[in-house]
Amino acid sequence: MEEDAKGRFSRRQVLAASTALAAATTVAPGGARPAAAGAAPEIVGPGEVRVALRVNGQVRETLVEPRVTLLDALREKLDLTGTKKGCDHGECGACTVLVDGVRVKSCLTLAIMREGAEITTIEGLADGSRLHPMQVAFLERDAFQCGFCTPGQILSAVGLLKEGRPRSRDEIREGMSGNLCRCSAYPNIVDAVADVAEVPR
């Protein structure tokens, strides 16, 4: 059990967590804790459950209640605070991450749902000290002011390009409409994405 869990566990929760871990070792990665064929699904929680998250290529185990969002698990449990909590309702996009290469809002998904998935946060986008081309473009185009929405903007833009290259600035605007910028750096954000997508001005 982790340090912060000391003295805060009931026997039932500890048992639930260890049973879950045992179950997790018997199934292939990708399925978190589905029951074996024919067995009834196992019920875990509401106390903390051990969850293994694959973040930026590393498997990180942590204890979370089932109600903990992926966003909160990343920030509070794994100390990956590059993913930002803006509205916590899926409206602002600041918490955008890639899950199995697809952009999603990490405040609208539970950590426990994403066991076995490949999660990419802003911390994992660069290749060592070499920035991702989208990060470079945001710097070159000065595509931010306060920077709070930027990790989400960049991951959303990376996800957008994986979905198919936008053909126009209008398509970029539409594709990026799930990411708000209260500083309104939108023209420069569109410029940055257009650079990487090779959309002419």
Partner 1 sequence: MRPFAYAQATSAADAVAVAGRDPSAAFLAGGTELLNLMRDGLAAPGLVVDVNAVPAKGISFGEEVIRIGALARMAEVAREPRVRDRLPVLSQALLAGASAQVRNAASVGGNLMQRTRCWYFRDAAMPCNTRVPGSGCPAIGGENRWHAILGGSDACIKVHPSDLAVALTALDATVVTHDRRIPITEFYRLPGSTPHVETALRPGELIVAVEIPAAGAGFRSGYRKVRDRASFEFALVSVAVSLDLDGGTVRQARIALGGVAPRPWRALAAENAVRGRRLTPDVLRAAGEAAVEGAAPREHNAFKVELVRRTVADVLERVGGGR
Which residue, 34 or 146, has its beta carbon nearer to partner 1? 34
Number of neighbouring beta carbons within 10 Å of residue 123: 16
Are 49 and 17 in contact, with CB atoms under 8 Å apart? yes
Which residue, 80 or 95, has its beta carbon nearer to partner 1? 95
What residues make contact with partner 1 under the rule CB under 8 A? 31-35, 37, 40-47, 49, 65-67, 69, 88-90, 93, 96, 102-105, 107-110, 112-113, 156, 159-160, 163, 173-179
Q: Where are the beta strands (DSSP E) in 72-185?
A: 96-99, 102-105, 118-120
| CB of residue 142 to partner 1, shortest distance in Å | 24
Q: Which amino acid is at 76?
A: E
| CB of residue 26 to partner 1, shortest distance in Å | 13
Measured in residues, the chain has a length of 201
Which residue, 45 or 147, has its beta carbon nearer to partner 1? 45
Which residue, 94 or 143, has its beta carbon nearer to partner 1? 94
| CB of residue 2 to partner 1, shortest distance in Å | 18
Cα(82)–Cα(148) distance, rounded to whole angstroms? 9
State CA 33 to chain mean position distance.
Answer: 20
Are 151 and 124 in contact, with CB atoms under 8 Å apart? no
**Taking CA 107 as the corner, what is the angle to CA 104 and CA 108, rounded to the nearest 5 degrees?**
65
Are 32 and 113 in contact, with CB atoms under 8 Å apart? yes
| CB of residue 133 to partner 1, shortest distance in Å | 20
Which residue, 112 or 189, has its beta carbon nearer to partner 1? 112
| CB of residue 135 to partner 1, shortest distance in Å | 19
